[in-house]
Amino acid sequence: MPRRSPDIRAFVLVASASAVLAACAPKALTPAPQAAPAAAPAVSRVTPRAPGEDRLVDSLLAMMTLEEKVGQLNQLSGLADPTGPGGAEAGVGQIRRGEVGSLFNVIGADTTRKIQRLAVEESRLHIPIVFGLDVIHGYRTTFPVPLGEAASWNPEMGRQTARIAATEAAAAGIMWTFAPMVDIARDARWGRIVEGAGEDPFLGSAFAAARTAGFQGNDLRSPTSIAATAKHFAAYGAAEAGRDYNVADISERTLRDVYLPPFHAAVCAGVQTLMSSFNEINGVPAHANRMLLRQILRGEWGFDGMVVSDWTGIGELLNHGIGADSADVGKAAIDAGVDMDMVSEVYRKALPGLVRGGRVPQAEVDDAVRHVLRLKYRLGLFSDPYRGISAAGDQAAMVTPAYRAVAREAARQSIVLLENDGNVLPLKKTLATVAVIGALGADTGATLGNWSGMGRPADAVSVLDGIRRALPKGNVLYARGASPVSGDTSGIAAAVATARRANAVILVVGETPDMSAEASSRATIDLPGAQMQLVRAVRATGVPTVVVLMNGRPLALQELDSLMPAIVETWFLGIEHGNATADVLFGDYNPGGRLPVTFPRVTGQVPIYYAHKNTGRPSNDSTKYTSRYLDVSFTPLFPFGHGLSYTTFTTSAPRPSATTMRAADTLQVEVDVTNTGSRAGDAVVQLYIRDDVGSITRPVRQLRGFSRVALAPGEKRTLRFPITARDLAFHDGSMHLVAEPGTFTLFAGPDAEHGESAKFTFITPDGAAAPVADDCR
């Protein structure tokens, strides 16, 4: 992306503001008392403070009025074109008065420049605005939805796609994204499962760190970097009954061992901001949760960045019922440590009164402002509020051939071959006639998935188009059949007739993008609409059929699986959806994706996840008084980590470098993987661990290592996974992070249910649990 020449006038203004600041510095440097408890941070990799950062921030603070301070904590959405006809006058006035610290959903280099000019030229202290946007899985170049991309089991892919997203978004004036979403989700009814990396803290942490690094790049000041946000802090995915915004009632141990690790990983990767979540945790809403924000985030993890509320999250504390009016809830949120108020304007209206009335210490507000100014400083806004972006950023290269190539590779790597009985797949390109059936198959827009930013259907390739391109000489028929949204069966007869004219059917079924999204929980996660009737009717024709799924959550596919020999999970793959799908269907690409989340047989099994506890009566489908169901197996339809290939692999038993391990040791665990088939392909080797005996019951397995490797036919590779005490640790009865002595079982294999095992023993000098530092891995 070419650098744009900076706006000289603004530079002069900012430069002169800096000169004023420098002159004021001595008397401005009185440090405000810290509101947060001054616990020694345990992390070692928080962003180092740049020289001058604290000085600039403190100098500015010393010059600000209370209203200007509170203004920095105020974030508004929208404000189309403030200087054009119909410009939002109220917003303009607020900016001039220094009452807006951040704007989001303002798009376009030209527009952001105009608004920025108001802030830096017409407000008293010339403090620039930070512009945010939900850049979730691409800006213009849309990549697979995050859950789909996690199926690649390739965090480096997550870094690359985030990097491109940042580059495109930054050219359009965006400086800050509300991503990555790192919520662990174990209940597929919850529609937002699509936005994260699935059910597992270890895999989720790897993607959290990689995506953070991708958005932020090596240098936050670079005009291709944007600040990232780890959201939603915390336990949003534990919403009771999978109903969005619902309460999370979980133990502190589950919070710390399952839901927090990806946030910690993002903090370790240098994430600049976190967003509070809409839910309460054990009776305390996240937006008023001192334990989360002050004790854990700032105290234990040493985070010195900024916390933003979710959309009207502070105002919603009224509905949670923890305050009687705006003043109460504003106080609750600032006391807890929420720095910036997204949209609700509770801070702007209530905080000045709260401070003047003595209900909120000035130091708390100063601290929050400090976090906001620090973000702006780190983004380089005090040197160049336009970050080198000219109005022509709007014409910057988007969806370049290079970006498209990454989009295709990310899409291919995200596809999971769920079923392939009798090796129906790959299809031969010599088939005379192929029928694509299903409304989603021709729906270009659907490929983009939810939260698709500025993605455009015109840039995207549907499954139908992808197949037509793959078979330029073939006869490709299409019938709509049934839609995912209506119960209308009227198109099924025509679809059956179309199927009968074909040598093979590609049946595209699933969900529309808005079915797996915010406020899109589903009580049953079957194929929606009349699609199962369509499946049955196509099956009855006897024409060989492969199913292509498009969806943003696990679906309950028991019947579909019993009827169809081949099922390909394609999620919502972004602009290259159709090409990547065709690559897999016709064997130009050998699928290697693996499920980042368990697929149940029926909705009633949900929540279902591999790292469950054994119970006193471990599940056994043939023994009555065990933990099971009368009407369905307790096992999932497809386990976590599952995915097939057009070749075959064998995975050896894990070989630990020693049979005993001590707290300071790193055990090296070797695993051989061999391509035993006749095609090249990607294996994803997974290493799990089980603590055989613990003072607190331990999960039956926990992922502790994984590697996606490309193997030629016959090729064998030996992989090495390091295991340290941190990998054995959990929060004990006193909520200390410890590794307990005793035997551990290692499992290496293709998914969470299979594989060979080996044991080792963890030894401590006195036989007592070894304390483990909760530091960055």
Tell me whether the omega of the peptide bond preceding residue 234 falls within 30 degrees of 0, making it cis: yes
Alpha carbon distance 383, 494 (integer Å): 64
DSSP tag of 256: I
- HEC string for 365-412: HHHHHHHHHHHHHHCCCCCCCCCCCCHHHHHCCCCCHHHHHHHHHHHH
Closer to ligand BGC by Cβ: residue 134 or 665: 134
The tokens describing 303, both together, are: 């985070």
DSSP tag of 77: E
Of 447, 575, 596, 601, which Cα lies nearest the Cα of 510?
447
Q: Which residues sit opposite 549 in a β-bridge?
A: 509, 569
Cβ(314)–Cβ(287) below 8 Å: yes
Min dist. Cβ of residue 287 to ligand BGC (A): 12
Phi, psi of 444 (to 5 degrees): -65, -40
Farthest-apart Cα atoms in the chain, separation: 84
Cβ(499)–Cβ(437) below 8 Å: yes
Give the sign of the dihedral formed by CA 77, CA 81, CA 86, CA 92: positive
Question: Which amino acid does the sequence have at 157?
Answer: M
Which residue shows structure tokens 């509320």? 309
Min dist. Cβ of residue 242 to ligand BGC (A): 16
Alpha carbon distance 640, 657 (integer Å): 27
Min dist. Cβ of residue 3 to ligand BGC (A): 29
Min dist. Cβ of residue 316 to ligand BGC (A): 11
Closer to ligand BGC by Cβ: residue 56 or 343: 343
Alpha carbon distance 410, 261 (integer Å): 25
Cβ(522)–Cβ(551) below 8 Å: no
Closer to ligand BGC by Cβ: residue 518 or 715: 518
Closer to ligand BGC by Cβ: residue 192 or 522: 192
Closer to ligand BGC by Cβ: residue 205 or 344: 344
Min dist. Cβ of residue 574 to ligand BGC (A): 19
Min dist. Cβ of residue 519 to ligand BGC (A): 8
Closer to ligand BGC by Cβ: residue 58 or 310: 310
Closer to ligand BGC by Cβ: residue 164 or 230: 230
Closer to ligand BGC by Cβ: residue 105 or 695: 105
Closer to ligand BGC by Cβ: residue 453 or 641: 453
Residues 6+ apart with CB under 8 A from 211: 146, 158, 159, 162, 179, 180, 228
DSSP tag of 772: -
Cβ(142)–Cβ(449) below 8 Å: yes
> Active-site residues: which are they?
310
The tokens describing 141, both together, are: 């170049």
Min dist. Cβ of residue 32 to ligand BGC (A): 29
Min dist. Cβ of residue 231 to ligand BGC (A): 6
Min dist. Cβ of residue 44 to ligand BGC (A): 29
The tokens describing 693, both together, are: 């005996």
Question: Which amino acid does the sequence have at 449?
Answer: G
The tokens describing 748, both together, are: 């290496």
Of 592, 586, 601, 603, which Cα lies nearest the Cα of 569?
592
Closer to ligand BGC by Cβ: residue 17 or 136: 136
Residues 6+ apart with CB under 8 A from 407: 138, 141, 142, 143, 161, 574, 575, 576
Min dist. Cβ of residue 720 to ligand BGC (A): 38
Alpha carbon distance 509, 567 (integer Å): 10
The H or E element that residue 273 is part of is: strand 273-276
Closer to ligand BGC by Cβ: residue 518 or 672: 518
Min dist. Cβ of residue 130 to ligand BGC (A): 14
Alpha carbon distance 654, 687 (integer Å): 8
Q: In what order do the strands lie in the sheet with 566-569?
A: 416-420, 566-569, 545-550, 504-510, 433-437, 475-479
Alpha carbon distance 119, 462 (integer Å): 43
Phi, psi of 762 (to 5 degrees): -95, 130
- C-alpha separations of 657 from 180, 650, 654, 661, 758 in Å: 36, 21, 10, 9, 11
Closer to ligand BGC by Cβ: residue 98 or 132: 132
Min dist. Cβ of residue 134 to ligand BGC (A): 5
Residue ranges binding ligand BGC (CB under 6 A): 134, 178, 231, 310-311, 518
Cβ(696)–Cβ(733) below 8 Å: yes
Q: How many residues does the chain have?
A: 777
Cβ(95)–Cβ(115) below 8 Å: yes
Min dist. Cβ of residue 236 to ligand BGC (A): 8
Of 52, 47, 53, 56, which Cα lies nearest the Cα of 24?
56
Q: Which residues sit opposite 286 in a β-bridge?
A: none
Closer to ligand BGC by Cβ: residue 308 or 372: 308
Alpha carbon distance 712, 724 (integer Å): 32
Q: Which residue is nearest to ligand BGC (CB)?
A: 178
Which residue shows structure tokens 């709260």? 354
